Structure 1
């Protein structure tokens, strides 16, 4: 697939995830976080399997691929969603947004150290621009970043686990379609989370009988679109573009989260948000390599044939 189509998919995924975060925040306020995450991710696994079955893409993994599936399930599903759901129930969305924005920097550093894939100077410029943009956007919320908490630490651990999972996904993508990898990871991860919920949140399943219709709308929307479609497309993009380039687009997540919060929660978007948007978009253009691609094409057009 052409690189620009991958970039388009990644922007679309960030849009989905941005609107998904307020939904998850709402869900964990109605049902305790680990329990609701286990069922939400199980729904996501069924959704991905159904989509792939219709495309005749479901197959039995090899022994080597199962190793990647289990490791990916622990990092990308169990650790990431466990700590993220717990963290969201304990911290503000502004703090979570700022911490989520560190993902591209962590990814770039870890990929450089572990896989020895070194970003160019322009891509490092993009990483820094994106980080500044995320900071400016979140700080526009006022005092949302004051006072770090255990919730902030849990969100950071969730991002760290997710970054490591991208390295696993990138390796597994050589033989196993990342979309099928996503389905298996969700299935195994949801079972592990359900076992944890029985120990940590006994009897919480009863809470599902007391929720409102709005809860079920958010639950199915988050599970089937935000989690299933979002992660399926993102993991596919990681396999195509690599973890560093794909992670750059995570900067847009904070922006779309604020837009979603404005639409659903009535929060105001200020001029500082617009300033952050400019930096974030610039960071994505430079960090993804799109600026270098455009410059190369420009030079090719100018060079004599």
Structure 2
């Protein structure tokens, strides 16, 4: 798979994920969050497995690979989507989208800790800028920092869980698309158990859906969750977690636009300032500036070599 094609694919995934925040905000206002998430993830997992079966890519996994899938599913599916559903139900789509923009920074920080990547000055600066941006976001709430929204905290826990899962996916020996399908299916079963415990009437709430709501549900499950996660996880195995995560800086942008245009949520100056800090943090913290400087130095060395040879 060509690198340029992967980049275009990642931009498309970010559009889907950004607008998915708005879709989830609509859905959790009509359905119980955990029960809805369990059904959405199960639908996505079955779509991925059917996709692989149709292309003859649905292969058996070994016991060792099954354990890798199971552990990764606890973070990538159960923890991430559980906290995301709870968070979106308790905060605005704008705030949720902005906090989700921290995924690249958290992934870069975890890559330093668990993959042994060397922390550069730019990466450390980026991590600081990104978290400073989130301070602006949560400070724009009704009560400021003194009344931190529990929804924002839940969304950040979802970010942390996703960052951990990206590290696991990078280290796994299972093909990314196959791993994604089974992770979604296994994780949805755990989410169904959680919904029965936390939301006794959660499954019955799913009977109250209208045709427009189910259309939004299918778009979220199939496009954003199934295809989005399948191809993103494949990009992680090709490019690595840090480089793939750079594209997630587009996620808050599309989340902001979706929440503002489709839900009419206002965007405050502090939220815009937080967005700019997060984007700057992503560019520095995910290694973007390190790559630019490295290319500049290689070009300078090459130019010096050409002059010396003249």
Unaligned runs of 5+ in 1: none
Partner of 2:96: 96
Unaligned runs of 5+ in 2: none
* Deviation, structure 1 residue 132: 6.0
- Give me the TM-score of the superposition, normalised by structure 1: 0.85
Is the counterpart of residue 191 in structure 1 residue 178 in structure 2? no
Deviates most, 282-291 or 46-55:
282-291
Indicate how the Cα distance of structure 1 residues 61 and 228 shifts in structure 2: closer, same or farther if over 3 A, else same: same
Partner of 2:114: 114
Alignment of 1:53-64 (within 5 A): 53-64=53-64
> What secondary structure sits across from 1:197 in the alignment?
helix
Relative to 1, partners in 2 of residues 1:288 and 1:236: Cα closer, same or farther, differing over 3 Å? farther
Distance change (3 Å), C-alpha of 1:150 and 1:141: closer
Match of 1:16 in 2: 16
Task: Give a deviation string over 1:152-183, Cα, whole Å, max 9, x none.
Answer: 222222211111111111111xx311111000
Q: Deviation of residue 245 (structure 1)?
A: 2.1
Report the more deviating stretch, 184-193 or 203-212. 203-212
Structure-2 change in CA distance of 1:205 and 1:281 (3 Å): closer
Alpha carbons 1:98, 1:134 under 8 Å: kept: yes
**Contact 1:252–1:280 at 8 Å: present in 2 too?**
no
Scaled by the length of structure 2, what TM-score is found?
A: 0.84
In structure 2, the residue matched to 1:213 is 211
**Partner in structure 1 of residue 250 of structure 2:** 252
Equivalent position of 1:47 in the other structure: 47
Larger radius of gyration: 2
| Post-superposition CA distance 1:21-48 (Å, at most 9, x none) | 0101111111100100010001101111
Matched position secondary structure for 1:57: coil
Measured after TM superposition, the shift of residue 283 of structure 1 is: 5.4
Matched residues, number: 302
293-302 vs 207-216, which deviates more? 293-302
Once residues 275 and 149 of structure 1 are traced to their aligned partners in structure 2, the CA distance between those partners, rounded to angstroms, is 19
Closer/same/farther in 2, CA of residues 179 and 299 from structure 1, 3 Å limit: farther
> 1:151 deviation in Å?
2.2
